[in-house]
Structure formats: C-alpha cells, structure tokens
Structure 1
C-alpha cells in the first residue's frame, strides 16, 4: 500500500520563497485544551515536515534578516516572471467585463471544460495524434490534476518515479527515499533515462519530460522503450509534459507521438509555464478512450466521474485566456516570451560552463542541472547564498539521485540573470580551492 503526493514540474516553487512566511507543515505539536476523538489521517502523518521549498524559504528569510540591505536574486524559482501578452489579457478582460451584462453573463460551465477550449487544445497540441476533444479535461492546473489522478488510482497501487523527482510520502531517513516507491535512477550514467531492464513492474510509472529538475528530454526511441515496457507489464504511464513548449531539438512533446501510447498513458500538461499562467491556473489532462482497467472498464469514465463530482470546472475567465493563448496571435506572442526565458538560460549556461562546471539540461527546458562533484548540495547552496546572495535549489531535495547537484532556473528578469552571472563569476574565480573539481569539469548537454 502506498500513499503518494507526487508534485509535478508545475509545482516547483510557484512563488518567490520570500512570500512564504512559514510553511503550514512546519509546526510544533501543542495541546491547546481538549482534543476531539477524530483520528488523524494516517496518510497525512506520513508527509515529511521539512519539504524542500519551505526549507529553502526558511533559509532565505534567515539570510535576509542577516543581510537586510542586499539584493537577493532567485535562480531557484519555478515561477514565471514575464507579463502575460496583452492580447491574451485583453481577451480575458473583455470576457470579465461581459459578465456584468445580461447577454455576457456565464455561471457554471462544464466541469470537463469549455467545449471550444477542449477542441482548441486537441487541435493545437494533438491534431496529428488522434486525440479527441472529449478526451481532454480542462483543469485549474497540472498539480491539481495529479492529485485527482491519485484519487482515481487509489492508495493500493505500486508506483515508480524518476530519481531525481518530486515525490513525498512515507519518508525513510536512513535511505533518503520514500517507502513503497520504486526509484528509477536517471543520471549522466544512463543519459538521464532509466534502465528499464532493472526496473521492477509497478502499476503506475510517473514520467516527466522535459524533466524537472534535470532539464533532460527523452528521445522518441527512449519513449518507445517506456511505452513497450508499460504494455508488457500492464502498467499506466502518467506523463507530465508541462515544459513541452521549451523543446527545440525535435524530441517528442507528447507521449502520444509514440505508437501504442494511447493504450497505456495519461498525459498532464499546463498553461503555467507555456503561457505564464502560474497565477491564473489552467491546465489539462488527456485520458484516451483506449485506456482500460484490467477488467476492460474505460478509465476515462472514472476520471469523468471524479471531475464532475469533486470539481466545478476551471474559472471561465481563465478558460477565455486559454482560448486567447491558442489563437494565432496568442501563440506568436507566447513564443516570444518563451524565447526570452531561453535567452536567460543561455546566459546562465555560458557563464557556468566558462567556470568549468558540468552543466546538464537547459537545451529543452528552463532548468540547468549543475554538478558539484564530491560536494553536498545543501553545502553548495549555503555557500553560494552566503557569498553571492543568490538562491538556488539543492538537488538532494529531489531525492538521493540529486546529491552533488544544484537546480538553477532560467525564469527571471534579464537584469537579474546578468547580475547573477557576474556574481557567480566573481565567486567561483576566487573559490577554486574550495571546489577543486572545477579545473577538470566540462560543459555537457
């Protein structure tokens, strides 16, 4: 039995850590009078208190208190920073204003999403892949959908995840792993793709491509292996494609580009990173008609039941924005914003590579996965924060496979990227003796 809260790429530090004053999980048990007779949910008891991003937030707040006059730069955030293009916000505004009129007012919509938007998603992203509009479920974001998927699957399933990744559940301190979860190591030694010959059969395989945190995107050949592995074992792939818009080398943007995937895969995606909707909240999930339980019952029917029972649908204003994003003008404007983040990523990659650091990812994703051989990731995080006033993300927070790495994000303002590069150059050029591996490291993509 396993209870797992799997945080997708879309859940990575959705706002500046300085805005998080105190984690709701960071508490002390205090008996304040009488207790009820209600027993606490044992699955919530399993959640680890010091989850990665609240811990980063705590350390940031301590740093700001110690250095109140410094300009802190965050290269750890997974939040977008560039304004949503005006054409898109204009359409949302017009829709909102129309709600104040008799003719334009809209109340509850379909829980599965506006029919026009569902068709636009199917046509725009899956037009050549046989995805039908009735298989598209519009939501308030990928993270919410992953929670609904877990409700769909129940707690009795076995689960495999990439390592490094974002799982939380029943944490085992000695191994730094969550119990009852199969870890699939994904590092330079296997081109960031799991060795499926050594992976045991599980009911569910969570797979994120482009990957958060490593920035790696799986090739068509690799995804074909994954689909065949799932078909052989009767497993279901939960495919997170939230960063697909950053792919630029022709790698698959959808699992459904792989023959046979409709029989074994659910795909979850989002407007958050694609269109800067981290605060607007809009995403979607694809459940193919061919995806069946062991008894032949269509999984889409159960997901439909969950959505229509526990969800009243995404905001109609957000959905109007989604439609505007998928218009020809919207897509063009969004592409310019994505290119802005890609340029940020390029600036950081060139800086880190020039310092002799080994850098993975970055080409098809906004994240860089930087190797500090022989070092503890929290130690490197602390050293960089103290000496440069830059926030990064320690790789060990993503699991044992992340030790010795930092995740560095290309989301941010251009002037911050330039200033961060200057500080990092100055820091590492004077700190080589603390990082002796720098002289032999190289840039790798």
Structure 2
C-alpha cells in the first residue's frame, strides 16, 4: 500500500494551526491577559434574523411526514438556485439557475474543483495567496507557478505573457490583501485566459463588501462565460461560517477538451457530495430576499466601519496598507523592517492582539500582516489603541 506522497510537499504546519499553537501557548503562560483576536476571518455578529427564522421553519418541516425531505439534490434545491440567480440580476449579471451549484462553502469547492481537471495541468496562483489554492493542487501533484503581488502593483498581479497556465486562481476582493480588481484589469485576465485556453477559478467570497463600483462577479466581464468558474460563499456575506453554505457558478458555454465543465462538476458532486441540508438551504434562500439583503447589509456595514477604524489608525501612524475599503481585511506593512512572524509575536506578546503573518500566505507576504474587521466595535477600537501605544513606544 502506498500513500499520496504529494502530501510530503506540503508546508508541515497549516498557517492557522501555527497561529493557534502560538496563541494557546501565550494564553497558558498569561491566563489573566485579555487577547483581542483579529487574525482568522471568522465573523462575530449573529445570523440575520430572517435566516434564523428560515432555519427553524425548515427544521420544523423535517419533523412532519407531509413535508419531510431526505437526501437533497446534489446541485441544490431549485428555490435556492433561483434565489442566487436573482441575486446576480440585482447587480446586472445574468446567470441561469441551472448553472448554480449549492455547496457547503467556497473553501471546499475551490479545493475540490481540481477533481475535474487533469493532474498534468499547470496552475497559476497569485502570491500572497489563500493557502487552499496551493495546498489542494500540491496534493494533486500539479505544477504551480506564481504571479507576484507587490507594493509596486498595488498587490494586484496582472497576466504574464511568458507563462502559459491551464488553471488560474484569482480572488477579488482578495484574501489576504483586500485589494480588488477593476473591470479593466479583469478584462485583461479574461482575454489572457481565452487566448491560452485556460480556466479562471474566480473566488468572489467577499463581493458583498465592494463599495467603489469594482466588478462583483467575473461574469460582469465580456468573454468570461467561456473561460471562468465562479465561487462564492455566505460565510462572510451573511455570517454562515458555522452554518456552511456557498455556491459555484459554471456557465454552459464553458467547454474544455471536448467536455462541458458544468456537466463534469455535476458528475463529481453526484459522486462525492450529498448536498447541503434542507434547513440551511432555506436560510440561504431567505438571505437573498429583499428583507434578507437589508439585514445582511446592516451586518456588513458594521464590519465596514470596523475596517475604517483600523484604516484611520494606520493612516495616522503612516503605515502602508491595502484593503479596508472593499474588503474586511487590512493588509499592512510591518513597521521598522520587522518580519511577518516577528511582528505577529510582538503584537501577541506586547499588545495582546492576534493578527495573521503575511509570510503564511506566500513568499511575497513576508514583511506584511493581515488584520480583520470581524471583531466587535469595542474590541476593534481597543486593538488599534493598543497597537498605536505599542508602536509609539518602540519608535
């Protein structure tokens, strides 16, 4: 018996596991100190009331013989897929309901999508990058090439004509940097993918945070339906991090190697996935109602204000950063030439604030740190005060 030796090529410790380990060690040594956690991008506000009501209603239906439901459809119930299609129409993008696949989240789908692609494909990812894009393809044994995101390009990598990738992972607004592509920049990527017969795997998990008119979907760009798959999630949009629900959109026009990628994904899901529970899908559909979106935007506005609090403090201290406007993430340059883990440890031990070291997102993340706006307002304000005090005393 042999194991998949591609796992030997993974970084030994997953980024967030290492953060948890260091944080736990600090708490054990200093049990009376209060930490403010601004590292992992988990939400803190409760689910919108309309989603909770729909969850209860769905659960109640499962307790009645006449409305009981067993296995859900692999691609999701029609009423949820129609709701997602209607949501796209609300910001001017046409997506058919039968191109929508309901899932347990974008993380799962961005990792699992590789099942429909050959192991000999070359994968392009931006650097810094969400670790799942890299690790899932290392596990599959694919060659990975990197497009550097740097201060010089505002952390928005553009196509490199010297590379010829088959699969291209893009995330906008980006995790971890918070930077968002403009329509013109996305058009360059779409043209590049169509020219190279490549497929863009587009993570739009943070589209609901966009405030400046940047595209909220790759399908807002002409030509994307022949080269792109889009992943989205209710985790950050509606606080479903623990509830687990997202969706993937694969256009019917998207064909490679003589095969419909939509049909291949359906076949994959039918084999390996038994769908999202009925109550959760009821809650998801409720989120996309007029009242649901109103409630969602209230929560989003709360996190966006937190981001403004963090951004204003960094502006005051003269620290370079991206994000904070179209994103719940603030990607800041570590002060005084500190490395990512050095600054992480400094904040943890001297200010009791937990961030995420940029180095954990790739080589180009060294020297940067990610903060999130998902904590409470009180904790966010206190965290920036602690950081300002620490840095003013260390200058």
TM-score (norm 1): 0.85
Query: Structure 1 residues 170, 220: CA separation in 2 closer, same or farther (over 3 Å shift)?
Result: closer
Please say if residues 396 and 403 of structure 1, whose CA atoms lie closer than 8 Å, have aligned partners that are also in contact. Answer: yes
Written as runs of structure 1 = structure 2, the 5 A alignment for 1:132-211 is 132-167=96-131, 168-169=134-135, 180-211=143-174
**TM-fit CA distance, 1:246:** 0.1
Structure 2 residue matching 1:368: 3-state secondary structure: strand
Is the aligned partner of 1:94 residue 2:57?
yes
Which has a greater percent of helix?
A: 2
2:252 paired residue number: 289
Cα deviation 1:274-324 (Å, max 9, x = unaligned): 000000000010110111113x32111111100111111111111000011
Listed as ranges, the matches of 1:370-381 within 5 Å are 370-372=332-334, 374-381=337-344
Measure how far apart 1:359 and its partner are. Answer: 1.8
State the shift of 1:179 in Å: 8.5
Shift of 1:131: 1.2
Q: Give secondary structure in 1 for the equivalent of 2:374.
A: coil
Partner of 1:343: 305
Q: Indicate the residue corresponding to 1:313 in structure 2.
A: 275
Listed as ranges, the gaps of 5+ residues in structure 2 are none
Q: Which aligned segments of 4 or more residues in structure 1 are displaced greater than 6 angstroms?
A: none
Q: Is the 8 A contact 2:55 2:283 kept in 1?
A: yes
Q: 2:93·2:220 contact (CA, 8 Å) conserved in 1?
A: yes
Structure 1 alignment gaps of length 5 or more = 1-37, 173-177, 433-445
TM-score normalised per structure 2:
0.95
Structure 2 residue aligned with 1:436: none
Q: Tell me the equivalent position of 2:23.
A: 60
The residue aligned with 2:354 is 391
Distance 1:160 1:320 in 2: 36
Query: 2:200 maps to what in 1?
Result: 237
RMSD of Structure 2 on Structure 1 (CA):
1.7
Contact 1:368 1:408 in 2 (8 A): yes
2:229 is matched with which residue: 251, 256, 266? 266
TM superposition shift of 1:152: 1.3
The residue number in structure 2 matching 1:124 is 87
C-alpha distance in structure 2 between counterparts of 1:385 and 1:89, whole Å: 35
Aligned residue number for residue 358 of structure 1: 320
Say if 1:398 and 1:179 are closer, same or farther in 2 by CA, change over 3 A: farther
**Separation in 1, partners of 2:47, 2:365:** 33
**The 10-residue stretch of structure 1 (153-162 or 215-224) with the greater mean CA deviation from structure 2:** 153-162
